[in-house]
Structure 1
Amino acid sequence: MTALPTETRTPRTATRRGRRAGAPYSFLAPALILFVAFFAAPIGYAAYLSLRRVKVSGLGLGAGARTEVWAGMSNYARSLTDPDFLPSVYRIGAYGLIVVPTMLGLALLMALLLDAGRTRVGTFSRTAIFLPYAVPAVVGSLLWGFLYLPRVSPFTDVVQLFGVEPPDVLTGSWVLWAVANIAVWGGTGFNMIVIYTALRAIPTDLFEAARLDGATDKQIAWRIKIPIVLPSLIMTFVFSLIATLQVFAEPMTLKPLSNTISSTWTPLMKVYRDAFVRNDIYSAAATSVVIAVATFAVSFGFLKLVGNRAFNQED
């Protein structure tokens, strides 16, 4: 066959290569547009607002009495020195120390039990464990709030049958455990599914070889399964850490039921108070940026600390 002239073949080849090169971007375009519109742009706007303030002229009346001017870092200084900010940070730290280890420990235990050959569990068990994650946080908080109230909770009658007076978990130091319980109940199923999926991807030849060497199920779980699913554990830990730093729905829903939960119980609740109660969107934006930077720093720092070992990364 006679080869086509170079002049005819080159434009077609260039066109095909251009289409192939542009195909991935066409698939990514919807996600990128949504990311920019609903994630990057709001963050940029919040950063912009955090550097502005309102200047009031005269009595503050009239069309030009209130103007937006440059504020520099004054909003950040005001936010960080707010007497309600550091207590909310300490409170969320204690909350994370309860939620993250408990939730991931239960998720790992349930995933190992589901993956064990001698444990007879089916689709119903996996669905039952995962189902609380499908319940919205507000609905789950309302449900648990009903169960926490001593006068209406069915648990109160059951406990009183044994002659024990149940504590009011929405008062005092109990409220931290009450909020943490909702997070553990709702998040364990998701983390369990992630870890269980990683366990199912492990070749069964490893388990058979270990059993031939005399390893028990506990030894296989501790020495083979857990080290292999360590990247999944780290990923779920990072997700849980981010969710901890941004907890809002649970304490906000329980707030009308308890006098212990203040309007600044968590940093995000402080943001809500400043923005929608005090109408100070500039201070709220500064606090939001501080939370975002802290979330990024903690997550990135943790991944940098354990990434080389867990993901076999090299510098």
Structure 2
Amino acid sequence: MSVPVPRGPAVATPPAARVPRRRERGVAGLLLAGPFALLLAGTVLAPVLYALYLSLFTERLAGLGFDGPRQVFTAMGNYAAVLGDRAFHDSLGNVALFALVHIPVMLGAALLLALLLDSAVVRLRQLWSLAVFLPHVVPVVIGGLVWAYLYSPGIGPLAAVLPFDPLSDVGVLPSVVNMATWQWTGYNMVIFYTALQAVPREVVEAARADGAGPVRVALSVKVPMVRPTAFVALVFTVIGSLQLFTEPLVLRGFTGSVTSTWTPSLYVYEAAFIAGDHGRAAAASVLLAVVCAALSALVMRLSARRSG
């Protein structure tokens, strides 16, 4: 029979020895976070601060104009000019209509496809997932050119099948919505499908044991449990909708219905690279960023209320 050997009391680390360890951990954390902080400052913070700086100035000719334009401080003059510009108002209205149609259609289709893949209805899930995700891999410019060809009257097959002209003033908005939905449905489907894989199987089996059918299980069990993921996807989709640029820019070469200021991003592009008014372009960019931040905060607050 072994006799237990008495042990002495545990030696506590003196407080003076804890301070160097905490300092070492703090230094190590700063060294590890340093590269990311430098990259964030160089690629995000510096351009934002420079845009704020540019938005406060404008270029004007001094005297007879022989010396060229000079940079003049205008304070909030550029912001007032953008807010009073009818073209900027129309661009916001276009992206608002785009978002009202695109967001529910695209997210609804992505969620429906994810639910079908998660159920036992669809076979060859990996093949179907790849087929739906492939449009997102295609560059937006190339996809836009393909759709522009399909929409073009006389050469495109869709122009002869659709009951309206997809490149007209009325039909260009549904055309852009279709292009963006085709591009992003597969991406969001993968996000929803990944979230559905994390739903506890025992909860699903319990619902089926209680007599719930596939539709009831999907609507009452699976969809509520992936609601946080849906709100995150909604935030990114809202931001992407406000930054709509490539699709209308491609269609602009095929129709006159898309003007140079059809969206806020095109408005900024026209002001900076065509009109050469960098102050107005910077002010419009800042206002667009404020709108994106406000809508994102609104969606996140609604998400927090629903989760609570």
**Preserved contact between residue 114 and residue 121 of structure 1 (Cα < 8 Å):** no
- Over residues 261-314 of structure 1, what are the superposed CA-to-partner deviations in whole Å (9 max), with x where a residue is unaligned? 00000011111111111110001111111000011011102211231323x4xx
Counterpart-to-counterpart distance in 1, 2:60 and 2:260: 27
| 1:194 Cα deviation after fit | 1.0
Q: Does 1:237 align with 2:242?
A: no
2:122 to 100, 119, 122: 119
Identify the residue that residue 195 of structure 2 maps to in structure 1. Answer: 198
Counterpart-to-counterpart distance in 1, 2:30 and 2:105: 41
Query: Counterpart of 2:71 in 1: which secondary structure?
Result: strand
Q: Does 1:209 align with 2:209?
A: no
Counterpart-to-counterpart distance in 1, 2:92 and 2:38: 34
State how 1:141-290 maps to structure 2 within 5 Å.
Answer: 141-155=144-158, 167-290=164-287
Identify the residue that residue 80 of structure 1 maps to in structure 2. Answer: 83
**TM-score normalised by structure 1 residue count:** 0.88
**Preserved contact between residue 151 and residue 157 of structure 2 (Cα < 8 Å):** no
After TM superposition, what 4+ stretches of structure 1 lie above 6 angstroms from structure 2? none
| 1:155 Cα deviation after fit | 4.4
Identify the residue that residue 51 of structure 1 maps to in structure 2. Answer: 56
| 1:16 Cα deviation after fit | 4.1
Q: Return 290-299 or 139-148, whichever deviates more.
A: 139-148
Aligned length: 301
Counterpart-to-counterpart distance in 2, 1:154 and 1:92: 27
What amino acid maps onto 2:214 in structure 1? Answer: D
| 1:165 Cα deviation after fit | 7.3
| 1:176 Cα deviation after fit | 0.5
Mark the runs of 5 or more structure 1 residues left unpaired by the alignment. none
Counterpart-to-counterpart distance in 2, 1:33 and 1:190: 30
Counterpart-to-counterpart distance in 1, 2:58 and 2:274: 17
Counterpart-to-counterpart distance in 1, 2:276 and 2:239: 27
| 1:218 Cα deviation after fit | 0.7
**TM-score normalised by structure 2 residue count:** 0.90
Q: Kindly, what percent of the aligned residue pairs are identical?
A: 39
Identify the residue that residue 309 of structure 1 maps to in structure 2. Answer: 306
| 1:17 Cα deviation after fit | 3.5
Query: Counterpart of 2:70 in 1: which secondary structure?
Result: strand
1:140 to 117, 140, 143: 143
Q: Does 1:299 align with 2:299?
A: no
Identify the residue that residue 60 of structure 1 maps to in structure 2. Answer: 65
Counterpart-to-counterpart distance in 2, 1:27 and 1:189: 35
Query: Counterpart of 1:69 in 2: which secondary structure?
Result: strand
Identify the residue that residue 3 of structure 2 maps to in structure 1. Answer: none
Identify the residue that residue 46 of structure 2 maps to in structure 1. Answer: 41
Q: Does 1:69 align with 2:72?
A: yes
What amino acid maps onto 1:72 in structure 2? Answer: A
Q: Return 113-122 or 94-103, whichever deviates more.
A: 113-122
Counterpart-to-counterpart distance in 2, 1:29 and 1:165: 55
**Preserved contact between residue 247 and residue 266 of structure 1 (Cα < 8 Å):** yes
| 1:88 Cα deviation after fit | 1.0
1:30 to 12, 16, 35: 35
CA RMSD of aligned residues (A): 2.4
